[in-house]
Amino acid sequence: MLVAHGEADSFVSDQDIAHFKQEMEQAGASYQFNRYPGAKHGFTNPDADAHAGHGLDIGYQKEADERSWADMQAFLKHVFK
């Protein structure tokens, strides 16, 4: 499992992340958790900024989008080698 998380995502707390990781480890799940600095919720959606005006703490971040895409491709290449 690959998780791509924006470090500035206010929807998910550090406590939520710690709980998720603990559950994954207790279940013996194989996972990779990537955090992208400065990225908010919705960082891969180019339309996120347009929705941020509706009181949502979301935003597109090109660098994190591109990095997470490359990370996902590398992850899938490794999984399906």
Q: Are 64 and 6 in contact (CB under 8 A)?
A: yes
Mean pLDDT calculated for residue range 7-23:
97
Identify whether the C-beta of residue 36 lies closer than 8 Å to the C-beta of residue 2.
no
Two tokens, residue 79: 């999984």
- Condensed to tens digits (0 to 9), the pLDDT of residues 43-76 reads 999 999 988 878 889 999 999 999 999 999 999 9
Report which residue type is found at 59. G
Q: What percent of the chain has pLDDT over 90?
A: 90
pTM of the shown model: 0.88
